[in-house]
Structure 1
Amino acid sequence: MKSKLYIAVLILSIGLTACRKEESTVFPDYDKNWLVVEDDPSDASTHARFEFFKETGIPFYINDTIGIQQRKDLFGKDYTHYEVLSMNYSLGVEQVGAPPVVRTFKYCKKADVAAALAFFKTEIIPVLPKDVHVPSILLLESFTSNAFGNYAFKAFNTVLIGEASKIPAMDAATKARFKGAVMRALITNAVLSGKYDDLLTRFYTVSRRFASTRDIYNMGTWQFSQFVTGLPTGTVASLQTLGFISSDPRNTSYTPYTTWIDVSLYLEASLANTEAQFMQLYGTYPNIMTKYGIIRQILADMNIPVQ
């Protein structure tokens, strides 16, 4: 009889403990969608961002802390949770060398929001494919990165956009470069998602065919004399003759560390320049022009106009 009573008490104790744990740890709103903009009619910039969110589904932020929530830990102790946008670069692809990072950033002023939203409404949204998902935009006065300059940086759940206060005064050439960088950051995931693998394999092969014993990517420029073969007689091996419009942004002595950096560089250059401008810059390099043609095929399939 005593053993039965002991078992009953034990079961009741376990049940009460389980209930206490459930009460302390189950909070349905922990899974809330933070990537939204809530209206505040008394604040002009917030209201403008809310209207933009309603029209496009893209939340615009001017602070990387986008929410605050009171929570309880596993022991039932209250604490404050701050939901912060992640600035870690994330493409879900191979990383070689130091990953792209944001080194510094500075918040913009509320007064800068209107011009930035106007730029997106007239220059970006009309040419952005409907199936390209943009989790959020973080508008900044400035930022620095080790790989993608200071205009646009693709992070994990946001895209950083810099130079906020300078947008209204940008001349046509600067605005074109700015737009090219923004579009590159917004569409890179879609370009590398797998749909265009056949075209991109052709793109990579244009340069890779000149190095048969090791990969042409992540190759030091001083190694060209050792590993590069197959260039036309009299052609000196260089980044441009091998089909690269630039070295890796993180190290000017190397070819792009990875294929996706190469693609990113071409996307930005293709979207920042007209065809005539691109020809003027690189028209004397046949391998660059071949790769440019492939990138234009991809952009055309995405219905992204290139002048």
Structure 2
Amino acid sequence: MKNILYILLAVFLFGCSKEDSLTQKLEYENLYVIEDDPSDPVKHQVYEIYQKYNVPVYFNDTIGKTLIKKDIHGISIYQYETLDLPWSFTSYSSLDYQYEYMTDAEEQLKALHVIENYLALVSKRLYPFNFFVVKSYTTKDGNDNVEKHGNGEYQIHIRTLLMTGDWANATIDDLPADMMRQMVKNKISNYQTLLTEFNSISKAAWYGVSYASLNPNHFEDLVSPNEFGWSGYGGIPPQYYFAPSCFPNTWWGCSEFTPEGLENFRTAVRKKIGLWGFVSSGRVGTYTPDDREKDLVAFISEMLSLSREEFEEKWGTSTLVMQKYEILYEIVANELGVEL
């Protein structure tokens, strides 16, 4: 009987010991919670962005710590958590990142202004998990090749949108929309079935060649020359004018046309390039896009700069362009929630 009692006691003590060994000893902290500091304008703005959008903003890659244990002297030992940018969904790159931190409060507030404008512009599907803002950074690969990045450059990583400072004023104004275009491009790669359909519309042989090689008569019969209001000799611009570079109002040739004539000329150019399903040119203005990747990027940029009604008004007579538009519209508007 005594032996049985000893056995039961041993089992009881072993069970307690085992249960104790499974008890969580680590004190995990929520690393991504942002605390408010009303006395600090930068920290307070970071907190307000987090409260409104649930997206943290960091100016240092060390973002938190976890209590591991206390040593024999009662001193806490922590494990520090840092943003690890080389990770992708399936691999880890060999790039080593070194940061020059942004410490000037005025510059930090500028960055937060850009970030808030971006988050206000896009849907939740285009939010990064977090923003990390530095003055500049360098990357070094396995062959010790070093590249420095700054002056408003940014990179979109698996969880982090990495931004640099030293912006020009014009860059700051354009940065939210530019980041949105790049984020849309990144997200679009997840919709391979629709992208394959998009890529099938313009034939492979149409990329990286002159528009003239696709249609020797592409400069003729687009619109009557007297409708251009061009001030140059002969009433019709030279062939190298017929390029998508004429679309922005900053184009150097704008002043050579009457206002109405310039719009007629742009319509003629859209008819010319839209015949092949393109809204842009290649490295040479009178050439088609170099490849499907550049075609896609240009198409996204054109889509996001215009409402649906404006896009149809400008490109509606180009059947192939509109076919490609409808495919991307399904992704951009219906899947990613970007309002067009």
TM range (shorter): 0.5 to 0.7
Instruction: Please say if residues 53 and 59 of structure 1, whose CA atoms lie closer than 8 Å, have aligned partners that are also in contact.
Output: yes
In structure 1, distance between residues paired with 2:7 and 2:129: 53
In structure 1, distance between residues paired with 2:6 and 2:25: 30
Q: Matches of residues 62-81 of structure 1 in structure 2 within 5 Å?
A: 62-72=59-69, 79-81=77-79
Instruction: Please say if residues 129 and 304 of structure 1, whose CA atoms lie closer than 8 Å, have aligned partners that are also in contact.
Output: yes
Cα separation, partners in 2 of 1:182 and 1:279, compared to 1, 3 Å: same
Q: Which residue of 2 aligns with 1:216?
A: none
Instruction: Look up the SS of the partner of 1:190 in the other structure.
Output: helix
Shift of 1:175: 4.3
Q: Which residue of 2 aligns with 1:7?
A: 7
The structure number with the bigger radius of gyration is 2
Q: Which residue of 1 aligns with 2:56?
A: 59
Cα separation, partners in 2 of 1:14 and 1:106, compared to 1, 3 Å: same
Instruction: Please say if residues 101 and 136 of structure 2, whose CA atoms lie closer than 8 Å, have aligned partners that are also in contact.
Output: yes
Q: Which residue of 1 aligns with 2:193?
A: 198
- Structure 2 gaps of 5+ residues are 142-146, 211-244, 252-278, 304-324
Q: Matches of residues 1-307 of structure 1 in structure 2 within 5 Å?
A: 1-23=1-23, 25-27=24-26, 30=28, 32-72=29-69, 79-90=77-88, 92=89, 99=93, 101=95, 103-111=97-105, 112-122=107-117, 124-145=118-139, 150=150, 151-163=153-165, 166-167=166-167, 170-172=168-170, 174-175=171-172, 178-179=175-176, 182-183=179-180, 186-187=183-184, 190-193=187-190, 196-202=191-197, 276=248, 279=280, 282=283, 283-287=285-289, 288=291, 290-292=295-297, 295=300, 296=303, 297=325, 298=328, 300-301=332-333, 302=336, 304=338
In structure 1, distance between residues paired with 2:179 and 2:138: 15
Shift of 1:45: 1.3
Query: Which residue identity is paired with 2:84?
Result: S
Cα separation, partners in 2 of 1:188 and 1:84, compared to 1, 3 Å: farther
Shift of 1:40: 1.1
Shift of 1:19: 3.4
Identity, % of aligned positions: 23
**For each residue in 1:64-117, what CA deviation from the matched residue of structure 2 results, as whole angstroms up to 9, or x when unmatched?**
1122332339xxx96212122222242x26x6xx94845322110141211111
Count of matched residue pairs: 232
Instruction: Please say if residues 126 and 184 of structure 2, whose CA atoms lie closer than 8 Å, have aligned partners that are also in contact.
Output: yes
Query: Which residue identity is paired with 1:14?
Result: F
Instruction: Look up the SS of the partner of 2:98 in the other structure.
Output: strand
In structure 2, distance between residues paired with 1:185 and 1:100: 24
Shift of 1:59: 1.1
Q: Which residue of 1 aligns with 2:219?
A: none
Instruction: Please say if residues 209 and 288 of structure 2, whose CA atoms lie closer than 8 Å, have aligned partners that are also in contact.
Output: no
Greater relative contact order, per chain length (Cα 8 Å cut-off, separation 6+): 1
In structure 2, distance between residues paired with 1:159 and 1:148: 17
Q: CA RMSD in A?
A: 4.2
Instruction: Please say if residues 108 and 140 of structure 1, whose CA atoms lie closer than 8 Å, have aligned partners that are also in contact.
Output: yes
Instruction: Look up the SS of the partner of 2:132 in the other structure.
Output: strand
TM-score by length of 1: 0.59
**For each residue in 1:203-245, what CA deviation from the matched residue of structure 2 results, as whole angstroms up to 9, or x when unmatched?**
56689x86xxxxxxxxxxxxxxxxxxx579x959xxxxxxxxx
Query: Which residue identity is paired with 1:81?
Result: Q
Cα separation, partners in 2 of 1:206 and 1:84, compared to 1, 3 Å: farther
Shift of 1:149: 5.3
- Structure 1 gaps of 5+ residues are 211-229, 237-272
TM-score by length of 2: 0.54
Shift of 1:22: 3.3
